[in-house]
Every structure is written in structure tokens, then in C-alpha cells.
Amino acid sequence: MTARTHDFFAFASLITVASYYPPLVLNITTLIVSLIGNVIGALLPDIDQASNRLWDLLPGGDYLGKVLKNIFLSHRTISHSLLGIFLLSKILGWLTPKILNPSLIDVQIVNWSIIIGSVSHLIADAFTEEGLPLFFPFKLKIGFPPVASWRIKTGKWFEEFVIFPGIVLYIFWFVINHQEKILRVFRLAVQ
């Protein structure tokens, strides 16, 4: 899947989860940081690719990306697994309270938004030809449908003209049909 598809699918996942499991309290700073965190989370699993947009944010990021790519050996290993998600949640639990001000920002909500982004990335990748090494370090790759040749080829017409517009349509449909729930979350933030 392309980065754009991952971004939109992560956002679709975030508004879905937030509508059904709304936070009890939320402020505007937390909301904005969570939306940014969701995009970062959506791109994190592909951090093993030098072309990852997250590397563009760092000086010399392209070079770092290439070094890391060699460390990860091949694309889609630990960063696309349950173990990777578990480690990510541990790292976030330690890191975000240190780089964000917990008295201004609810780091729990931010961390959940990042993790929802990353989990949505894995779900989307499971529909691609390459499959998902969900149980890494075990080599087994899973995918839907089980026959690899029936799955999506990244960046090709099916993703461009069916999957991506489908996600955008879902977002519109969801927002229109869950206005009350979504407004309730936004009202929390602007109170």
C-alpha cells in the first residue's frame, strides 16, 4: 500500500474507534497531537524503507533510512508483526511522557492514536500480495484472501481506483452516519 492509502485508512480507523470508544476527557492540544500521531503511526511500520516519508523529517534521514534498511535485512519483518506492535507500545509508554508535556497533553490518547495508526497499517498490508509476517520471528506470512495472487499490488490500479476511493467514501459515509458521536468527541475538545 502507498503512504497515502495508509494515512487515510489510519484516519478512518481512528474516527471509527473514537466514535465507539470516546475518550472521557479531551482537550484541543491532545486532539491535534493525536491526529498527527495517527499519521506517524500509519507510516511507522514502513520505517524499514529508505523511501519512508518519516525519514524526510530528519536531517540526513535518507542515509539513516538506508542504514536501517540493511539492519532490518528486508522490508516487512519485525515492524509488521505483533511483536513490533508490542514493542512500539512499550517504547511509546516510555517516550511520549518525556517528549510531550503530560500536564497539557493526554499521552494515553496520543499513544492510542499512534497504535491505531500502526495496527491499521498492518491490517491494510495483509490485503497486499507480499502478505504480513504477523508472527515474526516465525517466517509464516498471512494475508487475505489466502491466495497471494488474488491480493492487491501496491500502487497499482486496484489500489488507486478501488481501495483508495473506497476508504475516502467510507470516511464520508461514516461521518454522515455518525455525526452525533463524532460531534460529541469534538465538543469535548473545544469545551
Q: How many CB atoms lie within 10 A of CB 129?
A: 13
Angle formed by the axes of helices 107-125 and 82-99, to 10°? 150
Q: Measuring CA to CA, how many Å separate 141 from each of 41, 91, 120, 154, 181? A: 22, 25, 17, 17, 37
Ramachandran region of residue 44, left (φ > 0), alpha (ψ -120 to 50) or beta?
alpha
Distance CA 15, CA 136 (A): 29
Minimum CB distance to Zn ion, residue 45 (Å): 5
Minimum CB distance to Zn ion, residue 156 (Å): 15
Minimum CB distance to Zn ion, residue 128 (Å): 8
Distance CA 68, CA 48 (A): 6
Comparison of 106 and 125: residue with beta carbon closer to Zn ion: 125
Minimum CB distance to Zn ion, residue 72 (Å): 12
Comparison of 45 and 117: residue with beta carbon closer to Zn ion: 45
Comparison of 110 and 126: residue with beta carbon closer to Zn ion: 126
Q: Measuring CA to CA, how many Å separate 165 from each of 4, 50, 149, 161, 168? A: 11, 27, 22, 6, 5
Comparison of 6 and 107: residue with beta carbon closer to Zn ion: 6
Minimum CB distance to Zn ion, residue 130 (Å): 8
For residue 27, give the amino acid letter: N
Comparison of 19 and 128: residue with beta carbon closer to Zn ion: 128
Q: Site residues (CB under 5 A) for Zn ion?
A: 45-46, 125
